[in-house]
A and B are shown apart, each in its own frame.
Chain A
Amino acid sequence: MAILQRIFQFYYQGFKNMTTGKTLWVIILLKLFVMFAILKVFFFPKYLDTHFSTNEEKANHVVNELIQNNKQ
């Protein structure tokens, strides 16, 4: 328990004494929010996961894509 408390204090004091670091953390958190809460959710769904439910369906779709030449 004492070790956990020391680790917590280590990080707590470290973050507390930051100057430039505070600005950087704001940027990091903002960046992660934009990436995961906006870009990933609204712009980057996993195509195969959203269009097919099983691995077999995904495999068949990819095979069709790979052998498109046969359509000619």
Chain B
Amino acid sequence: MIDNVDLTLVDWSRAQFALTAIYHWLFVPLTLGIAFIIAVMETIYYRTGNPEWKRTVKFWMKVFGINFAIGVATGIILEFEFGTNWSNYSWFVGDIFGAPLAIEGILAFFMESTFIAVMFFGWDKVSKRFHLISTWLTAIGANLSALWILVANGWMQHPTGMWFNPETARYEMNNFWDVLLSPMAAGKFVHTTSSSFIVASLFVAGISAWFLLKGREVPMAKRSILIAMVFGLLSSVYVALNGDFSAKVTSEYQPMKLAAAEGLYEGTEKAPIMAFGVLTNTDKPLDNSNKFLIKIEAPIPGLLSYLAFGNFDDFVPGIKDLILGNEARGILPATEKMRRGYESQQMLKKLHEIKDKKSEEYKAIYAHFLDKEWLETNFKYFGYGAYYHPDETIAKKNAEQLIPSVPLSFYSFHIMVILGMYFIVLFALIGFVMHKNVLTKQRWLLWIMVWSMPLGYIASESGWILAEVGRQPWVIQDLMPTITAVTKIDATSVQTTFWLFAAIFTALLIAEIRIMVTAIKDGPSNKH
């Protein structure tokens, strides 16, 4: 199949989706996190009745409102792209995604829009208690919206709770709870939302630090930093813990992603974690050349084995094991998976060639798609069939296409982890300085807080790059590769819309930054 695919089209379609997803994700994490920070602040106002807290809440609500308004609906473009550029994929998964995305739409519309209106318009018009409840429900609603998107994404990374209908060529959900509660979906939800809390905490702390540096709104800034510090520290520690859970889930269902993220070419027991490194020779993934120009391993041996399997001695498969196979470890070579995938495809082809659906031959072939053993040994590699070739040499070359971009996966993973550790230290340091009551005197720390604001976004985007690049070439793990998912349309039209989106999103981002900067410079006021 690879020979039949216009890779220019695939690359542009991927680039377009990546561009829109990355831009969309610039707006989302702040909304998810700052909503809870505001809710905590308003709870303090509700309990103390101190009008200074109300003023603080109103200021951050204004910031929330700007970010929400500019970011709202930017994700809809991704759905447009599904229908136009990824129509095969949309058809393949339509039944699975229908329910979660419908729930997301209803939640987003009713919970967020209703309670956001109370948040902004309801001061002095509804009771303090009802206003507070609305603020909390806005925060919970925003995060629940994210849940359904992340459930859908989690399913793509680890398909479960479904069966393949060979007549319609669609996956159909047969267990909603398996889809909702899959470890991949759970891991994605907690990791994504809690990392968004860090982005928001850094943002609130950074803006507040700027106020302190300017000598303006000092009490409000100190209060805000206190809340952001506590929220940020708790979230940073929690992200590290649930990141460990994500790594274990990834090692089970997406071992190639873990290997690429760690630059682990040769599988090994007591696998070490690479603290950082500089890659080389990544264009020859299966040869024996040295793959690192610089390599700094974490001092604890077997840490990657522990991260992956909870045991310091366990074997972690490398990229070569996963492509060439490792009989001793029970890992099939990719060429065998490609052969099994191809056989599954042949079965589907035969089924659709038979016109008489009541014939014995039709029933016999259909029975395969209900046979658990056949599904488990052959059909689970359905997507690999796209890379099959009867010539062993060509098949082996095709197998290299099953390796994601190691540099992108490796660097994005390490940037995310290093920044994650930095955030823990930063929030702890802010806490220590606040405890000593010398925050305003530590101007260097205030400047660090200001300049740490973009780092939250960089870490968050890096996490997504790892999640999405690291699972390539799969759109749906092992079942549908990108080359099959893409619609065979003119690549020029995809290029056109790519640049169109680049222009629109850049304009929106500039608008957000300008309005946000003006609003922050104005400081707290009574209007919104």
Residues of A within 8 A of B (CB): 10-11, 13-15, 17-21, 23-25, 27-28, 31-32, 34-35, 39-40, 43-49, 55, 58-60, 62-63, 65-72
CB contacts under 8 Å to A, within B122-166, are 122, 125
B484 contacts A65, CB within 8 Å? yes
Bound-state Cα–Cα, A20 to B520, Å: 12
A28 contacts B72, CB within 8 Å? yes
B81 contacts A47, CB within 8 Å? no
Bound-state Cα–Cα, A47 to B511, Å: 33
B62 contacts A67, CB within 8 Å? no
Q: Which residues of B contact A10 (CB under 8 A)?
A: 117, 121-122, 125
Given contacts A39-B80, A72-B389, 14 further A-B contacts (CB under 8 A): A11-B117, A21-B120, A27-B511, A35-B73, A39-B497, A43-B497, A47-B83, A47-B489, A48-B90, A59-B168, A62-B169, A69-B385, A70-B345, A71-B4
A69 contacts B386, CB within 8 Å? yes
Contact of B66 among A24, A31, A40 (CB under 8 A): A24
**Known contacts A43-B493, A70-B345; A62 and B92 CB within 8 A of each other:** yes
B494 nearest CB neighbor, chain A only: A43
13 contacts between A and B (CB under 8 A): A10-B125, A13-B125, A15-B121, A18-B528, A21-B65, A27-B69, A31-B73, A34-B504, A58-B91, A62-B92, A66-B88, A66-B348, A68-B386
Q: Which of B74, B91, B170 has the most chain A CB atoms inside 10 A of its CB?
A: B91
Bound-state Cα–Cα, A65 to B386, Å: 10
Q: Which of A45, A59, A62, A65 has the most chain B CB atoms inside 10 A of its CB?
A: A65
Instruction: Give the tally of cross-chain contacts (CB within 8 A).
Output: 132
B121 contacts A13, CB within 8 Å? yes
Closest 7 pairs between A and B when the two form their complex, measured CB to CB = A14-B121, A24-B69, A47-B87, A44-B80, A46-B83, A69-B1, A44-B84
Number of B residues, CB within 8 Å of A? 57
Residues of B within 8 A of A (CB): 1, 3-4, 62, 65-66, 69-70, 72-74, 76-77, 80-81, 83-84, 87-88, 90-92, 117, 120-122, 125, 167-170, 342, 345-346, 348-349, 352, 385-386, 388-389, 480, 484, 487-489, 493, 496-497, 500, 504, 508, 511, 515, 519, 527-528
Chain B proximity of A28: nearest CB distance (Å): 6
B77 contacts A68, CB within 8 Å? no
Q: Which residues of B contact A32 (CB under 8 A)?
A: 73
Bound-state Cα–Cα, A32 to B139, Å: 24
Bound-state Cα–Cα, A36 to B4, Å: 34
Contact of A35 among B77, B87, B122, B484 (CB under 8 A): B77
